[in-house]
Structure 1
Amino acid sequence: MQAGFTLIELMITVAIIAILAAIALPSYKNYIVKSHRTEAQAAMLSLAQYLESKYNASFSYPAVASIPESLTKPGNVSDYYTISVSIANASQTYTITAAPITSKQNDTQCGTLTLNEQGVKTPTTSGCWK
């Protein structure tokens, strides 16, 4: 009598592992995209808070060149999103944009995120802004 595994038992185990991997990997990748999107949103809201505090002090938004780089290129977020801000209408309006870097962040559900001085967030797709 020999102890061990037969080839059939080994192939069944490999098939089960392959099925679990086929289910788990897409879910994991989706989770990673969502976490990077959440970090980008937090960075956008921090930048908006900074802009609003400057507006409250001087009744105009600061020039783009005077915004600290730590707010436009925050930590890990700049690895996956390009955050930019545009000030318009004699420093009375702004739009913050977070565009995914497609080679690193393939965000097909939401794409580019925007936020303006009125708090309007786009896209309005369910699950993009939480």
Structure 2
Amino acid sequence: MRLLKRMTGFTILELMITIAIIAVLVGIALPYYNDYIMRGKLSEAFSNLSDAQNRMEQYYQDNRSYGPDAATCGIPPSRLQAAKFFTFTCTPTCTGSSCQGYTYTANGINGMDNFQFTVNEAGTKATLHVAPGWTGQGANCWVTTKGGC
């Protein structure tokens, strides 16, 4: 008498269904994950701009003027926390030898190229540019999510 063994394992159909389910889950999760990572990188700009604003106000209290040097405005960007995704520049607003205003700008680099944020001596925050698919460009706030401020 012949003994029949029962075959074990998965059929090709079962494997294909499993792969399809995984593909759907990845298709849903990946865009959310990418937005999450991008929002995390934005915090580098916000923390450094806030730090620059505080340092600029301390400089102003000591000197009764912001620095006239366009590269630093009194506080060189090199004194800010090391940044991987943004570069920082300062533009003073001067009348004669007196500089009573500034605009500190964060420009995105390394995958954050589309983002540009500013803050000035009055504490006005602005978003000048955002990534494609994001809203809030031109807003008087720092865009922190894909949906705006």
Gaps in structure 1 of 5+ consecutive residues: none
Gaps in structure 2 of 5+ consecutive residues: 1-5, 128-138
Q: Is the 8 A contact 2:104 2:118 kept in 1?
A: yes
Distance change >3 Å, CA 104–CA 88, structure 1 → 2 = same
Distance change >3 Å, CA 127–CA 19, structure 1 → 2 = farther
Which residue identity is paired with 2:79? Answer: S
Larger radius of gyration: 2
* Number of corresponding residues: 122
SS in 1 for 2:24: helix
**Higher relative contact order, structure no. (Cα contacts within 8 Å, ≥ 6 residues apart):** 1
Structure 1 or 2: more helix by fraction: 1
TM-score of the pair, normalised by structure 2: 0.73
The aligned residue for residue 99 of structure 1 is 107
Distance in 1 (CA, whole Å) between partners of 2:142 and 2:31 is 17
Moved over 6 A (4+): none
SS in 1 for 2:21: helix
The aligned residue for residue 24 of structure 2 is 19
Given candidates 108, 118, 121, the residue that maps to 1:117 is 121
Which residue identity is paired with 2:117? Answer: L
Which residue identity is paired with 1:70? Answer: R
TM-score of the pair, normalised by structure 1: 0.82
The aligned residue for residue 54 of structure 2 is 49
- The alignment's C-alpha RMSD in Å is 2.1
Which residue identity is paired with 1:46? Answer: D
- Per-residue CA deviations over 1:68-126 (Å, capped at 9, x if unaligned) read 4131xx32x3x21111111122321010111112x52255xxx3111101011112277
SS in 2 for 1:91: strand
Distance in 2 (CA, whole Å) between partners of 1:92 and 1:122 is 19
Given candidates 53, 58, 65, the residue that maps to 1:60 is 65
Q: Is the 8 A contact 2:66 2:73 kept in 1?
A: no
Distance in 1 (CA, whole Å) between partners of 2:22 and 2:33 is 16
